[in-house]
Amino acid sequence: MTTVLVVGGGGREHALSWSLGKSPRVDRILVAPGNPGTASEKHCENLPVGAGDIAGLVAAARHESVDLVAVGPEAPLAAGLTDALDAVGIPAFGPTAACARLEASKAYCKTFLNALSIPTGASASFRDPDLAIAYLEQLPSAPVIKASGLAGGKGVVVAETHGEAAAALRAMLIEGRFGEAGREVVVEERLWGTEVSVLAFSDGTDFVVMPSAQDHKRLLDGDGGPNTGGMGAFVPSPVATGALIAEVSDRIIRPTLDALGETGTPYRGVIYFGLMITDAGPKVLEINCRMGDPEAQAVLPLLESDLFEVMLGCATGSLDGIPVDWSRSASATVVMASAGYPTGSAPPAPITGLEEAKLTGCLVFHAGTDRIEGVTLAAGGRVLGVTALGSTLAEATERAYAGTESISFEGAHYRRDIGRRLPPEARSLPCREVDVG
């Protein structure tokens, strides 16, 4: 009897639970706290334990004789869930708190990258507002201001002017926006180029890069509006050629994992590099210690190997030799959000059309949903992710949109341009011919 505990309750965790459910080796999947989508997946059962309740999660893992804990979000990793599980001998997929600090402190991440001469924008970190403003004033152009701590993807201001940058510094360092997360800020040179996220499974020594996803962080079509957790994604990103992935592996991923291994804290789980591809090559914008969301919802349906074996290999330092094979199809995920996202909340609203969307061949991953008296409700934030595969990006995106259009709930909104702004040749090229890493 093999039991896996998935930690988290969003679209990424639904995709993880769905993918683990396909493993012939897994008999039971507990999801803490899960959502109505995970509750209805094969072998799955939700547990009423919050993703932030480290002691409760460890107790549940022991009580249920869990064989592997798969951690979705960053907060429990930064709070030491993996360390606590290590202490009681339960394998965890997800790095220790020492490694997760690369995401939990952007100031630490910059120090780490600079010490290894890994390419990244020039920066300085501050806790004192006067010193930060003095540094800003002598910069030739407006920088990017980042709350150093965890801010749910909303703590970065890409300033257009020095005045805007100064306002962001004051808001974080003096007015306490983002609370503790904004008590330290990184002032970083603005970089220009194309963004791509490169994610890899790592067991501390060996790593395997996943097909690269293109996220859509802004709320509105044409990359307008505020940053969000992510409004949609497609795979493969045409930017991530084999040559680029080889360069990123040699110059960025390998040195990062080697340095962590040398300090006695091997990185086990998914390591996520947010990169800007500049004229001078790839530079690191950020490191995350987990899969992206919605990227996971687009990437995991392409995994042809057994996710449980891959995760266990990462967690136990034995990834070498475990197959990690991917379908050479394209994949697209469209996120449907509730009214008010990302700033406000909306009253719960019944969702219709979920079965119709599945009949079109889409996977519908739940995030902000609730289920009361047999009715599935949109409960706020990012509500659903609708994923479809295809032999080209055009086919995958149009299928995902066909599924999305059959779903409705009061206040639903979603971007109409996921994967649709690529040049026609990139949209129509069969994925088997795309030179991806």
Site residues for ligand AMP per CB under 6 A: 121, 144, 146, 156, 158, 188, 190-191, 195, 217, 274, 285-286
CB 169 within 8 A of CB 187: yes
CB 429 within 8 A of CB 231: no
Q: Does 11 bind ligand GLY (CB under 6 A)?
A: no
**Residue closest to 291 by CA, chosen among 5, 105, 14:** 14
Binding segment for ligand GLY (CB under 6 A), chosen from 34-42, 162-170, 286-294, 320-328, is 286-294
| Closest CB to ligand AMP among residues 90, 210 | 210
Q: Does 293 bind ligand GLY (CB under 6 A)?
A: yes
Among 292, 301, 390, 437, binds ligand GLY (CB under 6 A): 292
| Closest CB to ligand GLY among residues 231, 362 | 231
| Closest CB to ligand GLY among residues 213, 436 | 213
CB 403 within 8 A of CB 362: yes
Tell me how far, at minimum, the Cβ of 43 lies from ligand GLY, in Å: 26
Tell me how far, at minimum, the Cβ of 217 lies from ligand AMP, in Å: 5
Among 50, 80, 152, 153, binds ligand GLY (CB under 6 A): 153
| Closest CB to ligand GLY among residues 117, 343 | 343
The beta strand positions in 169-303, using DSSP E, are 185-188, 194-203, 207-209, 214-215, 218-220, 224-227, 232-235, 268-278, 281-288
Binding segment for ligand GLY (CB under 6 A), chosen from 63-71, 175-183, 291-299, 324-332, is 291-299
| Closest CB to ligand AMP among residues 204, 232 | 232
- State the binding string over 201-230 for ligand GLY (x if CB under 6 A, else -): --------------x-------------xx
The total number of residues written for the chain in this structure = 437
15-58-200 Cα angle (round to 5): 40
Q: Does 182 bind ligand GLY (CB under 6 A)?
A: no
92-93 sheet: strands from edge to edge:
44-46, 28-33, 3-8, 68-71, 92-93
- Determine the Cα–Cα distance for residues 168 and 172; give it in Å rounded to an integer: 6
Query: Which partner in ligand GLY, ligand AMP, none is near 156 (CB below 5 to 8 A by kind)?
Result: ligand AMP
Query: Which partner in ligand AMP, ligand GLY, none is near 293 (CB below 5 to 8 A by kind)?
Result: ligand GLY
Tell me how far, at minimum, the Cβ of 284 lies from ligand AMP, in Å: 9
**Residue closest to 153 by CA, chosen among 199, 218, 96, 100:** 218
Q: For residue 202, give both structure tokens.
A: 């790592």
CA distances (Å), 402 to each of 39, 335, 399, 406, in order? Answer: 25, 13, 5, 7
- Determine the Cα–Cα distance for residues 374 and 371; give it in Å rounded to an integer: 6
Q: Does 103 bind ligand GLY (CB under 6 A)?
A: no
Burial-class residue 299 by CB neighbours within 10 Å (0-12, 13-18, 19+). Answer: buried
Which pairs from 134-137 meet CB under 8 Å and 24+ separation? 135/187, 136/162, 136/165, 136/166, 136/169, 136/187, 137/162
| Closest CB to ligand GLY among residues 260, 291 | 291
Number of residues that bind ligand GLY (CB under 6 A): 8
Q: Does 288 bind ligand GLY (CB under 6 A)?
A: yes
Residues forming contacts to ligand GLY in the complex (CB under 6 A) are 153, 215, 229-230, 288, 292-293, 295
